[in-house]
Amino acid sequence: MDDVEIEDVNDDGSPYHVEKVPVSHPDVTSLALTVGEFLSQYGWYLLAATVVTYLLIQRLSKRRSTQNGSSSLPQAPQDAAFVARRQEAMEAARRKMQEELDAKAAIFRDKQKQQEEEKRRQKIEVWESMQQGKSYKGTAKLSQTTEEASSSSRLKPKTDKKPLRSADYNPLTGQGGGSCSWRPGRRGPSSGG
């Protein structure tokens, strides 16, 4: 079987001759054939493994660079100074907000004192007018108008509500707003059967 020779034939029937290239390095040729055969069988697996390895190396290098950047000694004093400045700024903002709140509270207390003083003064006026024998209604109206002016921020109840039933409705008499009335049933033997 070693002496078998295969000849290719062209379309017109003439023998097809292939020129043989002299092999200068037989070891390289066998290596090329072995590598070619390996790549043809495992090429896709090799390509996938190469891509995964590349991505893994990139990820590890990013992680290492962030760890080195955050744990380096020259940045530690800089971070401490930054943290200190930030805390000072927060304290200043808190102090400012507290001062504003204290000012608003003082204004509110002053208004409360003025209202209490006004109520006390009105009570004294009512008491004096009653001691002198004057009518209480005139001073009551005066106090109501001043009280309404001072308490304009209070919610007023709605007075224009519609009543649920008419005024002449009485459930005991059976008269009034109801459209249905009860009637007793017939007495006596039933004529059904």
The pLDDT of residue 120 is 96
Q: How far is CA 80 from the centre of its chain?
A: 32
Q: DSSP for 135-187?
A: -HHHHHHHHHHHHHHHTTTSPPPP--PPPSS-TT-BTTTTBSS-S----PPP-
Residue with tokens 């003083």: 117
Mean pLDDT of 94-102: 97
The single-letter code of the amino acid at 104 is K
pLDDT bucket at 177, cuts 50 / 70 / 90: low
pLDDT for 11-68, tens place per residue? Answer: 787 777 656 655 566 677 888 888 889 889 999 999 999 999 999 999 999 998 888 7
The pLDDT of residue 33 is 87
The pLDDT of residue 191 is 59
Say yes or no to pLDDT of 140 above 70: no
Angle at 136 between CA 131 and CA 139, to 5 degrees: 105
Locate the domains of the chain by residue range.
Answer: 26-67+91-135
The percent of residues in the chain predicted with pLDDT above 90, rounded, is 33
Identity of the highest mean pLDDT range in 89-93, 137-141, 173-177: 89-93
Q: DSSP for 47-85?
A: HHHHHHHHHHHHHHHHHHHHHHHHS-TTHHHHHHHHHHH
The more confidently predicted of residues 106 and 69 is 106
Say yes or no to pLDDT of 158 above 90: no
Identity of the highest mean pLDDT range in 107-111, 142-146, 173-177: 107-111
pTM, 2 dp = 0.31
Q: Quick one: which of 121, 138, 141 has its CA closest to 130?
A: 138
Give me the sign of the Cα torsion angle 112, 114, 117, 119: negative
The pLDDT of residue 1 is 47
Instruction: Kindly report which listed range (36-50, 85-99, 129-143) carries the lowest average pLDDT score.
Output: 129-143
